[in-house]
Amino acid sequence: MRIVLIGPPGAGKGTQARLLAERLSIPAISTGDLFRTHVAQGTLLGREARKYMDAGALVPDEVTTTMTAERLAESDTDSGFLLDGFPRTVRQAELLRETLATQGADLDRVLAFDVPDDDVVRRLTARRVCGECGLVQHTDHVGSGKPSSCGGCGGTLQRRDDDREETVRKRLTVHTEQTVPLLDWYTTQGLLTRVNATGQVEQVTQRALAAVMRGSAD
C-alpha cells in the first residue's frame, strides 16, 4: 500500500505515520526527518536545507524530490510506504507520480489531516523530541513545561529550532499558500480523504485506518 499524509505543521503526521506504518507493516518516510539527519551530519544538502527550515520555508522541489526518490529506491519500500510530509507542492506531486510510474506503480490513498491553527500552535510550542530515539512527545505528557527525559528511552528531550511560535505561524502560512492547492489536485484524481486529526491520538489512528481501508475498497 502506498500512502501519503498531508497536513499543516503539528497536525500529527509524524505521530500517526509511526503508528500506521507499524499497523500496516510498511516503512514511514518523513522528508522532515531526512532533512534533519542531513543537518545533523553536516552534509552539503543539510547545510542548504537548514536555511529554508529555520525560516519556516519549503526546501526547493527538485532537491526534496531527488532525496525522496533515492529513499524510495531502497528495497524496504517494495511492498509499499507511507510518506509523511511529501509531496507538499503540486510540482512535487507531479515528480512523485513520474517516479512511481517508472515502476508501474501509483499511490493508493492520500490522507489530509485537518487541525485548527490554534491547536497547531499549542501542540508545536509544547513539542519535545528525544535526541536519542527520536520519539515525539508533548510537554503535558512529560510532566512539566521544561525539557525532561524521554518516556521511551530516558534520553534528553529537545525543542526543534523551527518550533518557535513565530516560525510555526510562518510554516502555517506556507502550508496554506503552497500545500493546500495540492488537496484539489489529489481530489480530482479521486485519491484524497480528509481526516479529522483532533482528539486522542488513538481516535485519529482509527479514523486514518478506516480511511485507508475504505479507499482501498474503492
Helical ranges in the chain per DSSP H: 13-24, 31-41, 44-54, 61-72, 90-101, 117-125, 139-142, 165-174, 180-188, 201-217
Does residue 127 carry a catalytic annotation? yes
If one asks whether residue 83 binds ligand AP5 (CB under 6 A), the answer comes out as no
Among positions 91, 138, 159, 169, the unique one binding ligand AP5 when judged by CB under 6 A: 138
Report in angstroms how near the CB of residue 11 gets to ligand AP5 at its nearest.
Answer: 4
- Residue 135 has a CB neighbour count (10 Å cut-off) of 16
CA–chain centroid gap for 191, Å, is 18
109 is catalytic: no
Piece in contact with ligand AP5 (CB under 6 A), picked from 12-20, 94-102, 151-159, 182-190: 12-20
109 binds ligand AP5 (CB under 6 A): no
The reply to whether 52 sits near ligand AP5 by the rule CB under 6 A is yes
The sheet that has 127-130: what strands, in order across it? 136-138, 127-130, 157-158
Any catalytic annotation for residue 91? Answer: no
Torsion of the alpha carbons at 95, 100, 56 and 122, rounded to the nearest 10 = 140
194 part of the active site: no
> Which of 29, 86, 93, 110: binder of ligand AP5 (CB under 6 A)?
86
Contact segment (CB under 6 A) with ligand AP5 among 8-16, 37-45, 100-108, 210-218 equals: 8-16
For ligand AP5, the binding residues in 116-135 under the rule CB under 6 A are 123-124, 127
C-alpha radius of gyration, the chain, whole number: 17
Q: What are phi and psi of 37, to 5 degrees?
A: -65, -45
Stretch 142-181 residues interacting with ligand AP5 (CB under 6 A): 162, 171
Can you read off the three cell numbers belonging to residue 122?
499549542
Catalytic residue among 88, 123, 128, 207, which? 88
Residue (of 130, 91, 108) closest to 24 by Cα position: 108
Q: Which residues bind ligand AP5 (CB under 6 A)?
A: 7, 9-15, 30-32, 35, 52-53, 56-59, 64, 85-88, 92, 123-124, 127, 136-138, 162, 171, 201, 204
